[in-house]
Amino acid sequence: MNFPTSQTPPPPAPGQPPMQPVAAEPQAPALSEPRRLINVFIAPSKTFVDLKRKPSWWIAWLVTAVFSLMFAVVAVQKIDMNHFVQQQIDKSPRQQKQLEQFTPEQRAQNLAVRATITKFTFYFYPVLSLLSGLIIAAILMAVFNFVLGAEVSFPRALSVVFYAGLTGVVRAILLAVSLLTASDPSTIDITANPMPTNPGFFLDPQGNQVLYSLASALDVFAIWYVILLGIGFSLVSANKKPSTSTGITTMFVLYGIVVLVGLGFKLAFS
């Protein structure tokens, strides 16, 4: 009876060095979900490498949604919604002209309806963030795959977008603290520059619109988000074609385009 014997590699041909066994590439240990969340802020590359191994987005979205709802509760309680809506109307000459055609009773009713809609919008933000995340992930996946030749699947793109979006949690906490500690929370316009995180905070919003918009775009949280997206999409690519620097540069170019397009709409419809 013949017993199987272990196979050994054939001897090298005369004049050739002996073949060395190929060592397997060491794999980084899998991260737990809490470690993924923490590493986004202290070691983002580790999180995105782990997302390449096992994409997941819903926990990051859920964390963001919880803090968004917490901020909504604070905002609705601390901000006079009628005053808040009037602030937004004062920024738009077109809306002001429309309201001038109403009677005082109609203006008051219109303001009350807008305030109610705005209040519910605060609580509806988690759903809006989910929809916008789906759209952003699809757009960025197309850019990195078709322009840079990367191989990023949609689940990985979703994971990068929502984990990078955790920077919004820090912003929500700081805004909530600002509203809770301010002597008059209604003076804080949370839709514009509520905190000194960009040069636009120190400029007159009614002054030069181009300068104000460009200065406001240099926001710490926006830049942080853009950098994380660039790192994430470069690391989750299956073929590793775009380098980290290329990914970050691409994201800044896209962010610049978005800022310029937004500025164009603002100048056209203000």
C-alpha 61/C-alpha 189 separation (Å) is 25
Helix, strand, or coil (residue 1)? coil
- pTM confidence score: 0.85
Distance of CA 74 to the CA centre of its chain: 22
Residue 180 token pair: 């809770």
Residue 27 CB-half CA count within 13 A:
7
Q: Which residue has the tokens 């290329």?
A: 246
Q: What is the pLDDT of residue 6?
A: 47
Q: What is the pLDDT of residue 93?
A: 74
Q: What is the pLDDT of residue 13?
A: 55
Using CA atoms, how far residue 31 sits from 25, 61, 172, 236, 247, in Å, is 18, 18, 26, 15, 23
Q: What is the pLDDT of residue 85?
A: 86
Q: What is the pLDDT of residue 26?
A: 54
Q: What is the pLDDT of residue 247?
A: 96
Q: What is the pLDDT of residue 22?
A: 46
Helices (H), the chain: 33-42, 44-53, 58-78, 81-90, 93-100, 104-142, 154-164, 167-181, 209-217, 220-235, 244-269
Residue 205's Cβ-count burial label (10 Å; 0-12, 13-18, 19+) is middle
Q: What is the pLDDT of residue 63?
A: 97
The low-confidence residues of the chain, meaning pLDDT below 70, are 1-28, 270
